[in-house]
Structure 1
Amino acid sequence: MAVLYRALFTWFISLIFLILVVLRLDDRVRWSWFVVFVPMWLYDSILLICLITSLSSSDRWQRGAIKHLSCLGALVIKVTSQILLCLRLDGADIKLYFVLTPVWIGAPFLIANSFLSLFDSDLVQFSSRMFNRCNSNLWRR
Protein backbone atom coordinates (compact mmCIF):
# COMPACT_ATOMS: atom_id res chain seq x y z
CA MET A 1 0.00 0.00 0.00
CA ALA A 2 2.91 2.36 0.65
CA VAL A 3 4.03 1.97 -2.96
CA LEU A 4 0.62 3.18 -4.10
CA TYR A 5 0.89 6.31 -1.96
CA ARG A 6 4.39 7.03 -3.22
CA ALA A 7 3.25 6.67 -6.82
CA LEU A 8 0.24 8.93 -6.26
CA PHE A 9 2.41 11.54 -4.54
CA THR A 10 4.90 11.44 -7.43
CA TRP A 11 2.12 11.88 -10.00
CA PHE A 12 0.60 14.73 -7.99
CA ILE A 13 3.91 16.59 -7.72
CA SER A 14 4.56 16.05 -11.44
CA LEU A 15 1.11 17.36 -12.30
CA ILE A 16 1.57 20.51 -10.21
CA PHE A 17 4.99 21.07 -11.78
CA LEU A 18 3.64 20.68 -15.32
CA ILE A 19 0.76 23.07 -14.59
CA LEU A 20 3.22 25.68 -13.31
CA VAL A 21 5.47 25.22 -16.37
CA VAL A 22 2.52 25.66 -18.73
CA LEU A 23 1.35 28.77 -16.89
CA ARG A 24 4.86 30.25 -17.06
CA LEU A 25 5.33 29.40 -20.75
CA ASP A 26 1.94 30.91 -21.67
CA ASP A 27 2.90 34.12 -19.84
CA ARG A 28 -0.09 33.80 -17.50
CA VAL A 29 2.24 34.35 -14.55
CA ARG A 30 5.52 36.24 -14.34
CA TRP A 31 7.13 34.15 -11.64
CA SER A 32 10.78 33.33 -11.53
CA TRP A 33 11.71 29.88 -12.80
CA PHE A 34 12.90 29.05 -9.29
CA VAL A 35 9.29 29.40 -8.10
CA VAL A 36 8.07 27.16 -10.94
CA PHE A 37 10.51 24.44 -9.89
CA VAL A 38 9.39 24.45 -6.23
CA PRO A 39 7.34 21.21 -6.58
CA MET A 40 10.40 19.40 -7.95
CA TRP A 41 12.59 20.71 -5.15
CA LEU A 42 9.97 19.67 -2.61
CA TYR A 43 10.00 16.17 -4.06
CA ASP A 44 13.81 16.13 -4.16
CA SER A 45 14.05 17.23 -0.52
CA ILE A 46 11.66 14.46 0.57
CA LEU A 47 13.68 11.95 -1.45
CA LEU A 48 16.89 13.25 0.12
CA ILE A 49 15.47 12.83 3.62
CA CYS A 50 14.39 9.26 2.81
CA LEU A 51 17.82 8.41 1.37
CA ILE A 52 19.69 9.85 4.34
CA THR A 53 17.50 8.03 6.86
CA SER A 54 17.92 4.75 4.98
CA LEU A 55 21.69 5.21 4.89
CA SER A 56 21.89 6.10 8.57
CA SER A 57 20.11 2.94 9.67
CA SER A 58 22.03 0.35 11.69
CA ASP A 59 22.51 -1.96 8.72
CA ARG A 60 23.82 0.69 6.36
CA TRP A 61 26.63 -1.43 4.96
CA GLN A 62 24.20 -3.87 3.47
CA ARG A 63 24.00 -4.70 -0.22
CA GLY A 64 21.52 -1.88 -0.93
CA ALA A 65 23.76 0.86 0.43
CA ILE A 66 25.55 1.19 -2.90
CA LYS A 67 22.22 1.70 -4.66
CA HIS A 68 21.27 4.35 -2.13
CA LEU A 69 24.56 6.14 -2.68
CA SER A 70 24.10 6.03 -6.45
CA CYS A 71 20.59 7.46 -6.03
CA LEU A 72 22.04 10.18 -3.83
CA GLY A 73 24.60 11.02 -6.52
CA ALA A 74 21.89 11.11 -9.17
CA LEU A 75 19.83 13.40 -6.96
CA VAL A 76 22.74 15.82 -6.56
CA ILE A 77 23.27 15.85 -10.33
CA LYS A 78 19.55 16.45 -10.90
CA VAL A 79 19.36 19.35 -8.46
CA THR A 80 22.52 20.89 -9.93
CA SER A 81 21.10 20.75 -13.43
CA GLN A 82 17.79 22.21 -12.21
CA ILE A 83 19.56 25.16 -10.61
CA LEU A 84 21.64 25.82 -13.71
CA LEU A 85 18.53 25.55 -15.92
CA CYS A 86 16.61 28.02 -13.74
CA LEU A 87 19.51 30.46 -13.86
CA ARG A 88 19.67 30.17 -17.65
CA LEU A 89 15.90 30.60 -18.07
CA ASP A 90 15.85 33.63 -15.77
CA GLY A 91 18.30 35.39 -18.06
CA ALA A 92 21.74 34.66 -16.65
CA ASP A 93 24.50 34.59 -19.23
CA ILE A 94 25.36 30.89 -18.92
CA LYS A 95 26.32 28.86 -21.94
CA LEU A 96 24.07 25.92 -22.73
CA TYR A 97 26.89 23.39 -22.50
CA PHE A 98 27.53 24.49 -18.90
CA VAL A 99 23.85 23.93 -18.14
CA LEU A 100 23.92 20.44 -19.66
CA THR A 101 27.27 19.37 -18.17
CA PRO A 102 25.68 17.66 -15.09
CA VAL A 103 23.35 15.74 -17.38
CA TRP A 104 26.25 14.60 -19.57
CA ILE A 105 28.20 13.53 -16.49
CA GLY A 106 25.30 11.61 -14.97
CA ALA A 107 23.85 10.01 -18.09
CA PRO A 108 26.43 7.19 -18.54
CA PHE A 109 26.16 6.18 -14.89
CA LEU A 110 22.37 6.22 -14.96
CA ILE A 111 22.29 4.22 -18.19
CA ALA A 112 24.70 1.65 -16.74
CA ASN A 113 22.70 1.45 -13.53
CA SER A 114 19.44 0.96 -15.46
CA PHE A 115 21.00 -1.71 -17.66
CA LEU A 116 22.47 -3.60 -14.71
CA SER A 117 19.20 -3.42 -12.77
CA LEU A 118 17.74 -5.66 -15.47
CA PHE A 119 20.06 -8.38 -14.20
CA ASP A 120 19.48 -7.65 -10.50
CA SER A 121 23.00 -6.37 -10.07
CA ASP A 122 24.56 -3.04 -9.34
CA LEU A 123 27.58 -1.24 -10.78
CA VAL A 124 29.94 -2.17 -7.94
CA GLN A 125 29.09 -5.87 -8.08
CA PHE A 126 29.44 -5.89 -11.85
CA SER A 127 32.82 -4.13 -11.81
CA SER A 128 34.15 -6.38 -9.04
CA ARG A 129 33.10 -9.50 -10.98
CA MET A 130 34.74 -8.21 -14.14
CA PHE A 131 37.89 -7.31 -12.21
CA ASN A 132 38.02 -10.80 -10.66
CA ARG A 133 37.58 -12.43 -14.07
CA CYS A 134 40.35 -10.33 -15.58
CA ASN A 135 42.68 -11.19 -12.69
CA SER A 136 41.93 -14.88 -12.93
CA ASN A 137 42.57 -14.84 -16.69
CA LEU A 138 45.90 -13.05 -16.19
CA TRP A 139 47.08 -15.58 -13.62
CA ARG A 140 46.20 -18.55 -15.82
CA ARG A 141 48.66 -17.50 -18.52
Structure 2
Amino acid sequence: MTLVHRALFTWFIVLVFLILLCLRLETRTHWNWFVVFIPLWIFDAILLIYVLIKIVTKWRNLTRLKELLIQYQSYICTVLLKIAIQIMICLKLEYPGLELSIFTVMIPIWILLPATIGYVFMHMVRSK
Protein backbone atom coordinates (compact mmCIF):
# COMPACT_ATOMS: atom_id res chain seq x y z
CA MET A 1 0.00 0.00 0.00
CA THR A 2 1.23 3.45 -0.78
CA LEU A 3 1.47 6.18 1.78
CA VAL A 4 -1.67 7.89 0.49
CA HIS A 5 -3.71 4.70 0.84
CA ARG A 6 -2.46 4.11 4.37
CA ALA A 7 -3.24 7.71 5.36
CA LEU A 8 -6.74 7.57 3.89
CA PHE A 9 -7.43 4.23 5.54
CA THR A 10 -6.24 5.59 8.89
CA TRP A 11 -8.44 8.67 8.57
CA PHE A 12 -11.42 6.52 7.61
CA ILE A 13 -10.96 4.25 10.63
CA VAL A 14 -10.60 7.24 12.98
CA LEU A 15 -13.69 8.86 11.44
CA VAL A 16 -15.81 5.74 11.94
CA PHE A 17 -14.57 5.41 15.53
CA LEU A 18 -15.36 9.05 16.30
CA ILE A 19 -18.85 8.72 14.82
CA LEU A 20 -19.53 5.63 16.93
CA LEU A 21 -18.09 7.36 19.99
CA CYS A 22 -20.28 10.45 19.49
CA LEU A 23 -23.38 8.31 19.06
CA ARG A 24 -22.58 6.42 22.24
CA LEU A 25 -21.75 9.53 24.29
CA GLU A 26 -24.93 11.33 23.23
CA THR A 27 -26.91 8.30 24.44
CA ARG A 28 -28.55 7.88 21.05
CA THR A 29 -27.44 4.29 21.19
CA HIS A 30 -26.85 1.96 24.08
CA TRP A 31 -24.17 -0.11 22.44
CA ASN A 32 -21.58 -1.97 24.37
CA TRP A 33 -18.31 -0.02 24.64
CA PHE A 34 -16.50 -2.95 23.07
CA VAL A 35 -18.61 -2.43 19.92
CA VAL A 36 -17.61 1.25 19.77
CA PHE A 37 -13.92 0.30 19.77
CA ILE A 38 -14.22 -2.29 16.96
CA PRO A 39 -12.82 0.06 14.25
CA LEU A 40 -9.68 0.64 16.30
CA TRP A 41 -9.26 -3.09 16.89
CA ILE A 42 -9.60 -3.76 13.18
CA PHE A 43 -6.92 -1.14 12.56
CA ASP A 44 -4.64 -2.70 15.19
CA ALA A 45 -5.14 -6.17 13.72
CA ILE A 46 -4.19 -4.84 10.28
CA LEU A 47 -1.10 -3.20 11.79
CA LEU A 48 -0.03 -6.48 13.39
CA ILE A 49 -0.60 -8.36 10.14
CA TYR A 50 1.40 -5.69 8.28
CA VAL A 51 4.34 -6.06 10.68
CA LEU A 52 4.21 -9.85 10.43
CA ILE A 53 4.17 -9.67 6.63
CA LYS A 54 7.19 -7.33 6.74
CA ILE A 55 9.04 -9.84 8.94
CA VAL A 56 8.15 -12.80 6.71
CA THR A 57 9.10 -11.05 3.47
CA LYS A 58 12.49 -9.97 4.84
CA TRP A 59 13.26 -13.30 6.51
CA ARG A 60 15.88 -15.33 4.65
CA ASN A 61 17.55 -17.44 7.30
CA LEU A 62 17.34 -17.99 11.04
CA THR A 63 20.07 -15.50 11.92
CA ARG A 64 18.21 -12.81 9.98
CA LEU A 65 14.96 -13.77 11.74
CA LYS A 66 16.42 -12.96 15.16
CA GLU A 67 17.64 -9.60 13.87
CA LEU A 68 14.24 -8.82 12.33
CA LEU A 69 12.36 -9.73 15.51
CA ILE A 70 14.57 -7.37 17.49
CA GLN A 71 14.03 -4.66 14.86
CA TYR A 72 10.23 -5.00 14.83
CA GLN A 73 9.88 -5.72 18.54
CA SER A 74 9.01 -2.10 19.35
CA TYR A 75 6.25 -2.02 16.72
CA ILE A 76 4.66 -5.19 18.02
CA CYS A 77 4.89 -4.03 21.66
CA THR A 78 3.37 -0.66 20.76
CA VAL A 79 0.36 -2.22 19.07
CA LEU A 80 -0.14 -4.71 21.92
CA LEU A 81 0.01 -1.93 24.52
CA LYS A 82 -2.46 0.10 22.45
CA ILE A 83 -4.84 -2.87 22.41
CA ALA A 84 -4.36 -3.30 26.17
CA ILE A 85 -5.31 0.31 26.90
CA GLN A 86 -8.39 0.02 24.70
CA ILE A 87 -9.50 -3.10 26.55
CA MET A 88 -8.88 -1.44 29.92
CA ILE A 89 -10.91 1.62 28.89
CA CYS A 90 -13.76 -0.59 27.68
CA LEU A 91 -13.74 -2.57 30.93
CA LYS A 92 -13.77 0.64 32.98
CA LEU A 93 -16.67 2.14 31.02
CA GLU A 94 -18.77 -0.98 30.50
CA TYR A 95 -18.47 -2.57 33.93
CA PRO A 96 -18.40 0.09 36.65
CA GLY A 97 -18.92 -2.67 39.22
CA LEU A 98 -15.33 -3.81 38.69
CA GLU A 99 -14.18 -0.60 40.40
CA LEU A 100 -11.00 -0.30 38.36
CA SER A 101 -9.08 2.77 39.41
CA ILE A 102 -8.04 5.22 36.73
CA PHE A 103 -4.42 4.56 37.67
CA THR A 104 -4.83 0.88 36.85
CA VAL A 105 -6.51 1.70 33.55
CA MET A 106 -3.71 4.08 32.56
CA ILE A 107 -0.78 1.69 33.23
CA PRO A 108 -0.39 0.68 29.55
CA ILE A 109 -0.24 4.35 28.51
CA TRP A 110 2.33 5.09 31.20
CA ILE A 111 4.44 2.28 29.78
CA LEU A 112 3.83 3.27 26.16
CA LEU A 113 4.53 7.01 26.36
CA PRO A 114 8.07 6.92 27.83
CA ALA A 115 8.96 4.05 25.50
CA THR A 116 7.72 6.04 22.51
CA ILE A 117 9.56 9.17 23.64
CA GLY A 118 12.75 7.14 24.00
CA TYR A 119 12.26 5.53 20.59
CA VAL A 120 11.71 8.88 18.85
CA PHE A 121 14.64 10.47 20.69
CA MET A 122 16.99 7.63 19.71
CA HIS A 123 15.98 7.95 16.05
CA MET A 124 16.50 11.71 16.16
CA VAL A 125 19.97 11.26 17.65
CA ARG A 126 20.90 8.60 15.07
CA SER A 127 19.71 10.71 12.14
CA LYS A 128 22.13 13.55 12.97
Q: TM-score, normalised by structure 1?
A: 0.77
Q: How does 1:50-65 map to 2 (within 5 A)?
A: 50-57=50-57, 58-59=59-60, 60-61=64-65
Counterpart Cα distance in 1 of 2:6 and 2:119: 22
The 10-residue stretch of structure 1 (100-109 or 39-48) with the greater mean CA deviation from structure 2: 100-109
Aligned equivalent of 1:71: 75
Question: Aligned pairs, how many?
Answer: 121
Higher fraction of helix: 2
Q: How does 1:4-15 map to 2 (within 5 A)?
A: 4-15=4-15
Distance 1:2 1:62, change over 3 A: farther
Q: Structure 2: which 5+ runs fail to align?
A: none
Report the aligned-residue RMSD: 2.0
Q: TM-score, normalised by structure 2?
A: 0.85
Aligned equivalent of 2:31: 31
Paired amino acid for 1:114: V
The 10-residue stretch of structure 1 (61-70 or 83-92) with the greater mean CA deviation from structure 2: 61-70
**Runs of 4+ that moved beyond 4 A:** 59-65
Structure with larger Rg: 1
Identity percentage over the alignment? 40
